[in-house]
Each structure stands twice: as C-alpha cells, then as structure tokens.
Amino acid sequence: MASFFMFCLIFITLTVPQSKAQSTCTTQNFTNNKQYDHCNDLPQLGSYLHWNLDTVNNTVSIVFIAPPATPDGWVSWAINPTADGMVGSQALVGYKATNGNMAVDTYNISSYSDFTKGKLAFDVWDKTCEYQDGMIRIFATIELPVNGETTVNQVWQVGGRVSSGGFPAQHAFQAGNLASKGSLDLLSGEISGGGDGNSKTKKRNIHGILNAISWGILFPLGIMIARYLRTFPAADPTWFYIHGFLQVSAYAIGVAGWATGLKLGSESKGVRYSSHRNIGIALFCLATLQVLALFFRPKKGHKIRFYWNIYHHGTGYAVIVLGILNVFKGLQILSPAGNWKTAYIIVISSLGLTALVLEAFTWIIVFKRKSRKASKPSTNGQAKEHSTAP
C-alpha cells in the first residue's frame, strides 16, 4: 500500500501541468530603444533570443533572456563549434554576483564535470547583464566560429545556484533542461534539434520510481514484516512467506531500476555520479546475498543458524540504510519538483513511525512473556515450595 501511495503521488506530480506565464519575444523592449533584426521564442525553459547578424564582420550581437531556476540562480547561452550538445560549448553565463551587481562570465565546457572559466574559442566583447521582471538578460557581441557560416549549434540552460566565486552549480535534468539545444539559422531564424529530452527524462523518472519503490520502500517493509509479525506464534509461517515475497519482489524491481540506470549511464557520456553509482552497486550485491539467504537458510537449532542470523540481519539493515540514502541522492541528481521529495519523505517517515510503535509493542510482549515464564512453578518440589511462599 505504501508503494502504491507513493506511485500515485509521483504520477500526479508528473502529469499535472505547471502554470507558466506566456510571452513572446516581439513584445520585449530594451533600454535606449535598442532594436534587433531577429528574435525567437526558444522552445525550452521559457527563454528568448534576439540578435543582429553582421555578415561583413562575421559577428552576431545577441540578447539572451531567461528566468533563472531560482532568484539566486543563473542563465546561460552558448555556441558549440564542434557538436550539438553541452560538451564542447563556449558559454556565456549571467548571474547576480555577491556584491549584488549582475555579472556575465565566459566558460569553456570541455566535459560535464570540467568547466573552465576564461577566454572562449572565439572573441566576445560588449558583455553585459541585467535583471528585469524575474528574467536575466545577457548582452554580447560574438565572433562567429566559422567565417561565412551563419548556422550555429546553440545550447541554453538555467540553474538554481551560484557559488561565491561565480561558478554555476549543476542544473536540473528535466525535459526542458535536456532538450535546450539545437541548430539556429541566423539568417532565417529557423531552429531545430533537441528532440531527445523527453525520452531521457522518462527513462530517468522510471529509474527513480523503480528504485524508490524497491530499495526505499519494499525492502524496509519486508524487514518490518519479518521483525514484528514473527512475534505472534499464530503468524508463523505466514510472516515468512510475506517477508520472502516482498524481498524477492523488491529485488526484482530493484534489478530493473539498476538496469535502467546502467542504460542511462551508457547514453550519457561524460556524466558521472560516482557516489550514487557506487552505492547502487553495493546495494545490488548486498540484495543479491540477501535473496540467496532465503534459499540457504539453516533449520532452527542448526549449529550455524546463529551466525546465519547475524549475516542475514546485518545485510538487511545495511540494505535499508543504503537504499534510503541512495533514493535521496537520486532525488538530488534529478532535482524534480518538490512534490517528489515530499512524497517520499511522507512515505518513509510513515514507515519509520510505524516501526517505532511496533518496536515498543514488541518489547512489551517479550517482557510480558518472560514475566509469565518466570512466575510459572517448575516441576521440582523446591520450586513449588518457593512459589507458594509468601
């Protein structure tokens, strides 16, 4: 039930459209009544581009306008001279500096983890930045990478945080963020490309949902069944079959989620989330051992049953801790709407609260049983005489 509840919340988050103010580049004005010959409503991230093309001097003067992901965030527009994605792009990044002034810096993005601040592969001048009506505007004049070539590969992006040194923090990985790229014909204004964002986002969401349900919900729920139902003799062996079913189901779903993660990794060259990946590998290995333990369980009273219990219980609790930790790491990477994280926190908090109540109830039952056993008369005469003593 808990996994179903979470799934419903996530589904609602995915399907409810977010309201967004509509605008168009033709209604936008600039200081000193500056005019631009061309403009485009870019197809992602509520962004706009204005430009003047100078074919004689092989330059383009641009204004990129976009809302940052948060008021303290950043926006970026880039030309990629060698490819159609982020890697290799030469970027302009606009943000609010620590002194409160708007700033624009240039970055050479050689990989997803290597942003070099400094001079670009082509000249850029007249760089300025301003903030107006919740939008950051980047102004610049750029030398085109290839003389006489008026079609460029553009990449644009928005993020939610900037370090004290002006370094942009990682952006989100929603459909708009992944699809904010394509070619731009500076003569005709035609734009194209960036069509694989929705597909990757769906795969990421599937990966996240499968792993949240498996490692983050079903495994803890299965362990709770084993720990608390077995307290009641009437529940034996029903608790064992429920426990086994939940653990095997969680393992199967987790393997599917792990496989989608491997697929995403192979399709995202240059993207590395080392801690998330390493925890995922550890989870897969521990869960495999845990499932195998169900098939190699010694009988009660066997001399190695004590050591098997230590191994089985220790592995189970390790899976719970690592699973929940990795779900939160995955949420941090995906940077989804707040409802995702809230839904998972509600579910896992409910399981935790239930476990605390059941833990207390279990110990009460255990102490009562011990008390009854201690008060029962034994079969020898001394015990009987003692039990009847005042």
Which phi and psi (to 5°) does residue 66 adopt?
Answer: -160, 150
- Closest by Cα among 169, 88, 89, 101 to 130: 101
In DSSP terms, 135 is beta-bridged to 132
pLDDT digits (tens, 9 = 90+) for 274-322: 788 889 889 889 988 888 877 788 887 788 888 888 888 888 889 999 9
For β-strands 151-159 and 74-79, DSSP reports them as antiparallel
Domain-by-domain residue ranges, the chain? 32-195, 198-372
CATH node for 198-372: 1.20.120.1770
With H, G, I as helix, E, B as strand and everything else as coil, classify residue 52: strand
What tokens were used for 201?
């986002």
Q: What is the percentage of the chain residues whose pLDDT exceeds 90?
A: 14
Both structure tokens of 33 = 């009544």
pLDDT classification of 141: cutoffs 50, 70, 90: very high
Question: Percentage of residues in the chain with pLDDT exceeding 70?
Answer: 83
Does CATH place domain 32-195 in 1.10.3470? no
Ramachandran sector of residue 249 (left: φ over 0; alpha: ψ -120 to 50; beta: rest): alpha
The dihedral region occupied by 75, where left means phi > 0, alpha psi between -120 and 50, and beta the remainder, is beta
Burial 201-214 (b: 16+ CB within 10 A, else e): bebbbebbbbbbbb
pLDDT at 21 over 70: no
What residues are paired with 61 via a beta bridge? Answer: 52, 141
